[in-house]
Amino acid sequence: MERNRVLAVIPARYSSTRFPGKPLALLAGKPMVVHVVERAREAGCFDEVIVATDDERIARAAALAGARSVLTGPCRSGSDRVAEAVRDLPADVVLNVQGDEPAQPPENLKLLAGFLRTHPEVPMATLALSGTPNDLDNPNVVKVVCDLSGRALYFSRAAIPYPRYPGVDIVLRHVGLYGFQREALLAFASWPETELERTEGLEQLRALAHGLALQVLPAAADSIAVDTPEDIAPAEAALVALLRDTTAKREEWRGEREKP
């Protein structure tokens, strides 16, 4: 039986309130969108890597990185842009690979793609990591609480769960990477925004409000997002560390292969 066709789609719009032209911002001498494409290609688990954008300049940068680009119109969210890009493309599983996370570990991409490929009954999935008590009051850190099966109950920028008793700190920090079965993605894009989504500024709350089961998996590693120009330096440092680690692993693997 033919395996599922899995696509990585990187939503990358030019306009941004806090950082216009963000996908073209240079990190280590390359536009950010190029680094995101490279991480997706390194994962080795996608049939195709696509950049969904509203700007020809971003499309040209994607082409130089070896990705197909699809021009989209105005979209409410990244996942809506992803849905528009794949509407007429063959796909079974689609990952929304955030265009502002140039140091996204390929292990996270492989984990999420592999899970959805082997669990077609799960409509949508994402990742999370254990956080710290300091994350609770940070509105830039999205927290998630889950049921006993690992399905998301709620995401928030607020402190959830609230630590009612001292010494009880259960913090699960969301990693902004989404995977969908194709039909679930198209359904998501057809639904209207909800008050919860608008209030928190979190697109995944649309899925929960409409009753879509959203499985939360333990992430393989952390990532870092670029929201403002001030985030470039820490993201570049994370990128350099990731590339150094990847090179070291390749050398170790090569050494094992060459042993008599």
pLDDT digits (tens, 9 = 90+) for 140-159: 899 999 999 999 999 999 99
Count CB-CB contacts under 10 A for residue 74.
10
Categorize the per-residue pLDDT at 1 as very low, low, confident or very high, splitting at 50, 70 and 90. very low
Q: How far separated are the first and last CA of the chain, in Å rounded?
A: 38
Mean pLDDT calculated for residue range 12-33: 91
The span from the CA of 54 to the CA of 56, in Å, is 7
pLDDT digits (tens, 9 = 90+) for 49-107: 999 999 999 999 999 999 999 999 999 999 999 999 999 999 999 999 999 999 999 99
pTM for the full model?
Answer: 0.91
N residues, the chain: 260
Categorize the per-residue pLDDT at 256 as very low, low, confident or very high, splitting at 50, 70 and 90. low
The closest alpha carbon to 176, from 211, 230, 140, belongs to 140
Q: What is the mean pLDDT of the chain?
A: 92
Arch. (CATH architecture) of 6-125+174-258: Alpha-Beta Complex (3.90)
Q: Which residues of 163-196 are buried (b: 16+ CB within 10 A; e: fewer)?
A: eeeeeeeebbbbbbbbbbbbebbebbbeeeeeeb
Residue spans per domain, the chain: 6-125+174-258
pLDDT of residue 39: 96
Inform me whether the pLDDT recorded for 247 exceeds 50. yes
Inform me whether the pLDDT recorded for 248 exceeds 80. no
Inform me whether the pLDDT recorded for 168 exceeds 90. no
Inform me whether the pLDDT recorded for 253 exceeds 90. no
